[in-house]
Chains A and B, each alone.
Chain A
Amino acid sequence: MNAPNSFRTQPDDRGHFGAFGGRYVAETLMPLILDLEREYRAARADPSFQAEFDDLMKNYVGRPSPLYFAERLTAELRQGAEPGKGAKVYFKREELNHTGAHKINNCIGQILLARRMGKTRIIAETGAGQHGVATATVAARFGLPCTIFMGAKDVERQKPNVFRMKLLGAEVHPVTSGAETLKDAMNEAMRDWVANVHDTFYIIGTAAGPHPYPELVRDFQSVIGTEARAQMLEAEGRLPDMLIAAVGGGSNAIGLFHPFLDDADVQMIGVEAAGHGVDTGKHAASLTGGASGILHGNKTYLLQDEDGQITEAHSISAGLDYPGIGPEHSWLHEIGRVKYLPITDDQALDAFQQCCRLEGIIPALESAHALAALPEVVRSMRDDQIVLVNVSGRGDKDIFTVAEALGVEM
């Protein structure tokens, strides 16, 4: 396949990333989607919008997030490597952001758009509750009423985040349809949206959904890669050789990757959640174990059967427990610019504990999937090379899940 001149010019004007993306929504939503696209173009061209975004990023979110050399983890991984092998490992510390993950970057951007469009009510879907908390946070900050749709099972599994959202003034709407998890929460959010298009803005939590969401979420999250690029040049005088990030919908990964896509010498790995293993059927690896299809407004890789019925995803990480992936990742996968690698629950749990012990950082289980890719990658690279991992969130929310998986009573 011929490589395009640039990997950074997608999507096209109809929202397609190669064969993926697009706008597969009910007619009721189409006019609003087109409005949103127009408003987003105007906002991007408006220096005052960017200035307000930058100011909130700095003073409210706490950016830039640090670039950190993981010295002890690097030393540990080098122990198992052949002489001259074992790349240096850096972390991009998104877990230090306000609300504890990268999710807030996108929420700030979208609520500024909501205000620009004169919308007076915010809705969002959430799985583990991180995006719900980030959305409730910005809704509180801007004084807009907010309803969060969350699968009833997730409401039960993620009580601390449910309480956080309520403290922040959001209404949490437990979704009892379907499997009562993230995809059903998204279905219900779309049902609410279609009935309230006149006043409601839907803050989608990942780089997926109908165009222009995958593009605008990516752009808001690109602050991660843009910062990391400058920070790495300052720290090492050169770019990293390898980027690694976990991919559920894929917003933290695309945010890190996108500013580097045209740097031919920078390789990239997106880590998919392999759950119990891709051959067990209990996983969330849409690229490795799925096929192209249409769901939640976009064409992308999905877990589905031959008839196109969506199958349940499984991952120990609620943030990766979704049967689809953002359309830009599907494209980057097909053209081979980014390599996607499955990591199981057990591998992620090991990496989670290793990061706690060696670096004093409790990573989110999502980020632990990215960390779990390190041993093999680091040991295959020379010791003068650099790997940058996106630690997309902190793991305080996950300690109950991890304790249960390790058989520890709390």
Chain B
Amino acid sequence: MTRLSPAFARAAAEHRAALVTFVTAGDGPTSAILDALVEGGADVIELGLPFTDPMADGPAIQRANLRSLGAGTRTADILKIAADFRQRHPDVPLVLMGYANTMTRPDPCTFAGRAAEAGVDGLICVDIPPEQADELQHCRAAGLDVIRLATPTTDAARLPAVLEGASGFLYYVSVAGITGLQQAAQASIEDAVTRLKAATDLPVAVGFGVRTPEQAAAIGRVADGVVVGSAIVELVEKHGPDAPQPVRAYIESLASALAGARKEIAA
């Protein structure tokens, strides 16, 4: 078992949703930003593996990818960042998120092995749907979780295929679209989470378009996790080398909103 299940279980025991945070590796002072995420109260870290052609990402993360690659970031640098993070934070789950072409280099088995060795807990690969799952078959042997994505277009007939072989948590992409642009209607998120939770025991984390503590709290009332990405990446873009401080403050605001979210209902 990786660090993911215990992290979601801890949050559940505290009657709150887990805070899942994304940042693009190699954009800004990544190690210090990762520390700021943890200090601010993030439960799970998604470390974005930059790619030249981030087809599923909106403008903010596209720019972050290009800044990182423009600064010369290599996969080996990112695995080093992960390994160093693991030294500093033995219990905080860290997953790599990115695209198939960089996650299967030099071959899928070697990549999975290197990621596991660096203390990574799982992979989220945006463009490997269940139909191509064999690309990630080495992950399980390496001890990595394969986190699957469900979307508004994933219907009931298809859901079992998405869940087959999924582990760690289920990432519900709440809008049919790219990262960071708009947020789905709360009612549709609630319906989807209910449907997904009926179909799996995995924690369900909801992302895409979540920005404000209020939005996070609303989702945190129904979902096991709330994913925030583009808003963090935009802070890194704005503050560059000075990003850790504002990132930490922002994460604190989200964490505190999640901590209080379910109490408001109870009260």
Chain A contact residues, CB within 8 Å of chain B: 14, 22-32, 177-178, 183-184, 187, 190-191, 194-195, 197-198, 293-297, 302, 304, 306-310
Q: Are A27 and B162 in contact (CB under 8 A)?
A: yes
Whether A309 contacts B52 in the complex (CB less than 8 A), given A23-B129, A30-B131, A194-B176, comes out as yes
Once the chains are docked, how many angstroms separate the CA of A25 from the CA of B74?
Answer: 24
B106, CB-defined interface residue at 8 Å: yes
Chain B contact residues, CB within 8 Å of chain A: 51-59, 62, 66, 69, 74-75, 99-106, 126-132, 135, 148-155, 158, 162, 173, 175-178, 181
| Residue of A whose beta carbon sits closest to that of B154 | A27
Whether A307 contacts B105 in the complex (CB less than 8 A), given A28-B176, A31-B154, A187-B55, comes out as yes
Q: Are B129 and A27 in contact (CB under 8 A)?
A: yes
Q: Are B131 and A306 in contact (CB under 8 A)?
A: no
Q: Are B178 and A195 in contact (CB under 8 A)?
A: yes
- The contact of A195 among B62, B74, B106, B177, by CB within 8 Å, is B177
Q: Are A191 and B56 in contact (CB under 8 A)?
A: yes
**Shortest 10 CB-CB contacts between residues of A and residues of B:** A195-B177, A308-B105, A308-B101, A294-B100, A308-B102, A28-B151, A310-B52, A307-B75, A294-B101, A27-B149
- The interface centre, meaning the residue of A24, A183, A310 with most chain B CB atoms within 10 A of its CB, is A24
Q: Are A293 and B152 in contact (CB under 8 A)?
A: no
Q: Are A194 and B53 in contact (CB under 8 A)?
A: no
Whether A310 contacts B53 in the complex (CB less than 8 A), given A14-B131, A27-B153, A294-B101, comes out as yes
Q: Are A195 and B176 in contact (CB under 8 A)?
A: yes
| Residue of A whose beta carbon sits closest to that of B107 | A292
Kindly provide the distance from the CB of B70 to the nearest chain A CB, expressed in whole angstroms.
11
Q: Would you give 6 A-B contacts (Cβ < 8 Å), ordered by A?
A: A24-B129, A31-B155, A294-B104, A297-B127, A308-B75, A308-B104
Q: Contacts of B100 on A, CB cut-off 8 Å?
A: 24, 294
Q: Are B105 and A26 in contact (CB under 8 A)?
A: no
Kindly provide the distance from the CB of B202 to the nearest chain A CB, expressed in whole angstroms.
15
- The interface centre, meaning the residue of B59, B127, B128, B173 with most chain A CB atoms within 10 A of its CB, is B127
- The interface centre, meaning the residue of A29, A30, A31, A306 with most chain B CB atoms within 10 A of its CB, is A30
Q: Contacts of A198 on B, CB cut-off 8 Å?
A: 176
Q: Contacts of A297 on B, CB cut-off 8 Å?
A: 127
Q: Contacts of A302 on B, CB cut-off 8 Å?
A: 101
Q: Are A295 and B153 in contact (CB under 8 A)?
A: no
Given contacts A25-B127, A294-B101, A308-B51, 5 further A-B contacts (CB under 8 A): A26-B129, A28-B153, A194-B55, A306-B106, A307-B75
Q: Contacts of B173 on A, CB cut-off 8 Å?
A: 27-28
Q: Are A22 and B132 in contact (CB under 8 A)?
A: yes
Q: Contacts of A25 on B, CB cut-off 8 Å?
A: 127, 129
Whether A26 contacts B56 in the complex (CB less than 8 A), given A293-B101, A304-B101, A308-B104, comes out as yes
Once the chains are docked, how many angstroms separate the CA of A191 from the CA of B155?
Answer: 21
Whether A30 contacts B158 in the complex (CB less than 8 A), given A24-B100, A297-B127, comes out as yes
Q: Are B131 and A23 in contact (CB under 8 A)?
A: yes
Once the chains are docked, how many angstroms separate the CA of A310 from the CA of B155?
Answer: 33
| Residue of A whose beta carbon sits closest to that of B103 | A308
Q: Are B153 and A31 in contact (CB under 8 A)?
A: yes
- The interface centre, meaning the residue of B59, B128, B148, B154 with most chain A CB atoms within 10 A of its CB, is B128
Q: Are B150 and A183 in contact (CB under 8 A)?
A: no
Q: Contacts of B130 on A, CB cut-off 8 Å?
A: 30
Q: Contacts of A29 on B, CB cut-off 8 Å?
A: 153
- The interface centre, meaning the residue of B104, B131, B178, B181 with most chain A CB atoms within 10 A of its CB, is B131
| Residue of B whose beta carbon sits closest to that of A31 | B153
Once the chains are docked, how many angstroms separate the CA of A309 from the CA of B153?
Answer: 29
Q: Contacts of B176 on A, CB cut-off 8 Å?
A: 28, 194-195, 197-198
Q: Are A191 and B178 in contact (CB under 8 A)?
A: yes
Once the chains are docked, how many angstroms separate the CA of A195 from the CA of B175?
Answer: 8
Once the chains are docked, how many angstroms separate the CA of A304 from the CA of B101?
Answer: 9
| Residue of A whose beta carbon sits closest to that of B152 | A28
Kindly provide the distance from the CB of B98 to the nearest chain A CB, expressed in whole angstroms.
10
Kindly provide the distance from the CB of B27 to the nearest chain A CB, expressed in whole angstroms.
15
Whether A27 contacts B53 in the complex (CB less than 8 A), given A195-B178, A309-B69, comes out as no
Q: Contacts of B55 on A, CB cut-off 8 Å?
A: 26, 187, 190-191, 194, 296
Kindly provide the distance from the CB of A53 to the nearest chain B CB, expressed in whole angstroms.
28
- The interface centre, meaning the residue of A31, A184, A197, A297 with most chain B CB atoms within 10 A of its CB, is A31
Kindly provide the distance from the CB of B132 to the nearest chain A CB, expressed in whole angstroms.
6
Q: Are A24 and B127 in contact (CB under 8 A)?
A: yes
Q: Contacts of B155 on A, CB cut-off 8 Å?
A: 31
Once the chains are docked, how many angstroms separate the CA of A27 from the CA of B155?
Answer: 11
Q: Contacts of B158 on A, CB cut-off 8 Å?
A: 30-31
Once the chains are docked, how many angstroms separate the CA of A308 from the CA of B132?
Answer: 18
Whether A307 contacts B74 in the complex (CB less than 8 A), given A28-B173, A177-B62, A194-B178, comes out as yes
Once the chains are docked, how many angstroms separate the CA of A27 from the CA of B162?
Answer: 9
Kindly provide the distance from the CB of B69 to the nearest chain A CB, expressed in whole angstroms.
6
Once the chains are docked, how many angstroms separate the CA of A306 from the CA of B153?
Answer: 34
| Residue of A whose beta carbon sits closest to that of B51 | A309
Once the chains are docked, how many angstroms separate the CA of A195 from the CA of B151?
Answer: 11
Q: Are A197 and B153 in contact (CB under 8 A)?
A: yes
Once the chains are docked, how many angstroms separate the CA of A372 from the CA of B59?
Answer: 41
- The contact of A187 among B54, B103, B104, B105, by CB within 8 Å, is B54
Q: Are A26 and B62 in contact (CB under 8 A)?
A: no
Kindly provide the distance from the CB of A361 to the nearest chain B CB, expressed in whole angstroms.
37
Q: Contacts of A190 on B, CB cut-off 8 Å?
A: 55
Kindly provide the distance from the CB of B110 to the nearest chain A CB, expressed in whole angstroms.
12
- The interface centre, meaning the residue of B51, B59, B152, B176 with most chain A CB atoms within 10 A of its CB, is B176
Q: Are B177 and A194 in contact (CB under 8 A)?
A: yes
Kindly provide the distance from the CB of A301 to the nearest chain B CB, expressed in whole angstroms.
12
Kindly provide the distance from the CB of B172 to the nearest chain A CB, expressed in whole angstroms.
10
Q: Contacts of A177 on B, CB cut-off 8 Å?
A: 59, 62, 66
Once the chains are docked, how many angstroms separate the CA of A310 from the CA of B66?
Answer: 12
Kindly provide the distance from the CB of B204 to the nearest chain A CB, expressed in whole angstroms.
14
Q: Contacts of A187 on B, CB cut-off 8 Å?
A: 53-55
Once the chains are docked, how many angstroms separate the CA of A28 from the CA of B148?
Answer: 12
Once the chains are docked, how many angstroms separate the CA of A306 from the CA of B52?
Answer: 13
Once the chains are docked, how many angstroms separate the CA of A272 from the CA of B199?
Answer: 49
Q: Are B56 and A194 in contact (CB under 8 A)?
A: yes
Q: Contacts of B126 on A, CB cut-off 8 Å?
A: 26
